[in-house]
Amino acid sequence: MPPGAESGIGFIMTTLTNTVRVLEQLIGFDTVSRHSNLDLIDWLQAQLEPLGARCTRIPNSEGNKANLWARFGPDRPGGLVLSGHTDVVPVDGQDWATDPFALTHIGSRFYGRGTSDMKGFIALCLAFAPRFAELDLTHPVHFAFSYDEEVGCQGAPAMIERIVNAGAQPAAVWVGEPTLWKVVSAHKGIRLYEVIVTGREAHSSLSHLGVSAIGQAIELLSDLRSLETKLAASSLRDPAMTPPYPTISVGTLEGGTAVNILARRCRFQFDLRCPANVDPDELLKPFTEKVAEVDAALTARFPECGVAMRCLTDVPALFTSRDNPAEALARQLTGDNALRAVPYTTEAGQFLAGGIPAVVCGPGSIDQAHTANEYVDQEQLALGVEVFEKLVAHLS
C-alpha cells in the first residue's frame, strides 16, 4: 500500500459518512413539485450561513417556493456554480418497498425519492461546504439550488438572471444531474405545450346543435401523431442523441362530462424535444397552422367555440462548444474524455442561454430517475467524494 493511502481511504470514508448524513436529511423533506420546498430551503440556508456563505433567496410569485443562491469567496467575475434542483417527482401509484421519504440503506444502495435525481449531488455540495469556506478563494464558488425543475425548469431562470445581473458573471456551471459521473456536453431542449379546445354542449342525439371538443381534439391529435411519425423518419437528426431525431409525446388528455353530452371542453398537453440544430417553431409550424384552421372553423359556427394553444415551458438545448471551461473542468476532475449527448433536458441549457458555459455530470444513474425504489449506489457517492476532493485541490 502506498504511503498515505490508508489515511486517504479513511478520509474518504469519513467524508462519505458525512455525505450520507446530509443525504438522509435531504430525503426526509417531501419536496415533490406540487408541494412547497421552503422547509428544505430553510434547512440549507441554516447549514450554509454559519460557514460564511452569502445566501440569497429568489422566491416564486406565490411565495411558497424559492431558489437558493449561496456563494463563498469574493463577489467578482469568474468562479464556478454547482447547480442542483431541490424538487422531486411524485411517488403516487408507484410500488415502493421502503418509505420514499426516509433514506434506507440496503447492501450498497441508498433508497429514497431523489437519491439519484438529484439530492445526491446536493448532499456532496453540503458535505464539502466547510471545505469551500476554508479556502482562500480568488474566485467564488456558487451553489444554485432551484425549485420546479421537474415541471419544466420553472425556477432556474429567475435565479440565473439574478446571478448574471449581480455583476459577478461566473465562468462555468456544473449541473449535477445523474450521469454516473460521465461528462455530458449536449442535450435536447424541451417545450411543453397546452391545447384547450372549447366546444358547445348538446344532447348526444342532437349532435348537429353542438360541437364535441373531444372530437375536434382527436383531429388535432391525429395531426400531431402524424407529425411525430414524420420526424422519426426525417433528416432532422443529431447522431449523438438517442433517439437522434426530435420527439413529440402527448402526456395528458382530459375532457367531457358524460357519455351522452357533447363535450364542451377538452385539454391535452404535449412535449417537443429537439436537438440544438433544430428550430422548434419551424418544426411545429404545420401543427400550429392546423390549430389556427380548426379554431377559425369552430368560431365561425359558434362564437364561443375555438382552440387555444400556448407554450408552458421553453428550455433550450445544451450544445457542444470547443471552448467550454465547465466541460474542461469536469473532464479534468473525472478523467472522462468521451463525447456524450443525452435526449433529456436539464437546467444547463438555461445557464448556457444566460451566457454561462455549462456541463452536466453527477452521481447516480438516469435510469433510476422517477422510478419506484429509486436509489444511488454507495460507490457513486464515494466517487463523488473523490471528485469533489479534486475540485478542492483545483480551487486551492
Per-residue pLDDT tens for 65-98?
999 999 999 989 999 999 999 999 999 999 999 9
The pLDDT score that the predictor gives to residue 9 is 64
What is the mean pLDDT of the segment spanning 278-289?
95
38 and 169 belong to one structural domain: yes
Indicate if the pLDDT at residue 3 is higher than 50. Answer: no
235 and 341 belong to one structural domain: no
28 and 77 belong to one structural domain: yes
C-alpha cell read off for 360: 452536466
180 and 193 belong to one structural domain: no
Catalytic-role residue among 117, 148, 149, 201: 149
C-alpha cell read off for 89: 417527482
φ/ψ bin of 296: left (φ > 0), alpha (ψ from -120 to 50), beta (otherwise): alpha
The pLDDT score that the predictor gives to residue 151 is 92
Q: Mean pLDDT in the chain? A: 94
The pLDDT score that the predictor gives to residue 321 is 79
3-state SS assignment for residue 325? helix
The pLDDT score that the predictor gives to residue 4 is 42
| Residue in this structure with the C-alpha cell 454561462, named with its chain if needed | 356
Which of 286, 315, 344 is the last residue before a domain boundary?
315
87 labelled catalytic:
yes
347 labelled catalytic:
no
The pLDDT score that the predictor gives to residue 334 is 97
End-to-end C-alpha distance for the chain, whole angstroms: 27
Which of 300, 315, 330 is the last residue before a domain boundary?
315
21 and 129 belong to one structural domain: yes
User: Is residue 189 within 8 Å of 317, Cβ to Cβ?
Assistant: yes
Per-residue pLDDT tens for 5-62?
444 566 677 889 999 999 999 999 999 999 999 999 999 999 999 999 999 999 999 9
152 and 74 belong to one structural domain: yes
Indicate if the pLDDT at residue 2 is higher than 50. Answer: no
181 and 327 belong to one structural domain: yes
74 and 168 belong to one structural domain: yes
What is the mean pLDDT of the segment spanning 171-181?
97
φ/ψ bin of 267: left (φ > 0), alpha (ψ from -120 to 50), beta (otherwise): beta
Indicate if the pLDDT at residue 155 is higher than 60. Answer: yes
Per-residue pLDDT tens for 233-277?
988 888 888 899 999 999 999 999 999 999 999 999 999 999 998
Which of 248, 281, 315 is the last residue before a domain boundary?
315
| Boundaries of domain holding 217 | 189-315
14 and 141 belong to one structural domain: yes
3-state SS assignment for residue 289? helix
Q: Which of 262, 144, 272 is nearest to 200 (CA)?
A: 262
Confidence of residue 320 (pLDDT cuts 50, 70, 90): confident
In the chain, what percentage of residues exceed pLDDT 70?
97
201 and 169 belong to one structural domain: no
Catalytic-role residue among 6, 49, 75, 87: 87
In the chain, what percentage of residues exceed pLDDT 90?
90
Domain count, the chain: 2
- Look up the CATH number of the domain holding residue 87: 3.40.630.10
